[in-house]
């Protein structure tokens, strides 16, 4: 089984930065991908970033492109999300995700095999 443990959320002012971490334990998908989703109250869960575990290709939602950066360190089985230039509309619970389906695009919720527990990101004005 794979467990994903997130950390790094918190409260920041608009324009600030956070770095989220997701550490995977257990068997991982060497040919799959990992990513980040977010969900605000009353909203659907939104895919914001994804990374190919093997090759490192990255994909971003238009709403975060140029501000967020996803990366991974294979030796640590860890994926990161650097959040810069944060806006109040970025406020949400952020979830790490892992899946074995590969595509040249963001992850889809139905493709997620494992979810992290979520970490709260709150951006104040």
Per residue in 21-32, pLDDT tens?
A: 999 997 766 778
Confidence at residue 103, expressed as pLDDT on a 0 to 100 scale = 85
Span 40-64, pLDDT tens digits: 999 999 999 999 998 999 999 999 9
Residue 119 has, within 13 A of its CA and on its CB side, a CA count of 20
Q: How is the chain split among helix, strand and coil, in percent rounded to 5?
A: 5, 50, 40
Confidence at residue 30, expressed as pLDDT on a 0 to 100 scale = 76
């Amino acid at each position: 089984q794979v467990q994903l443990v997130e950390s790094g959320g918190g409260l920041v002012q608009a324009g600030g930065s956070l770095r989220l971490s997701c550490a995977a334990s257990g068997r991982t998908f060497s040919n799959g991908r990992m990513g980040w989703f977010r969900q605000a109250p009353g909203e659907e869960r939104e895919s914001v970033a994804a990374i190919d575990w093997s090759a490192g290709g990255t994909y971003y939602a238009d709403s975060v492109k140029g501000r967020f950066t996803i990366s991974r360190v294979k030796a640590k089985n860890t994926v990161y999300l650097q959040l810069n230039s944060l806006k109040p509309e970025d406020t949400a619970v952020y979830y790490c995700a892992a899946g074995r389906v590969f595509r040249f695009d963001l992850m889809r919720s139905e493709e997620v095999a494992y979810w992290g527990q979520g970490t709260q990101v709150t951006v104040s004005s």
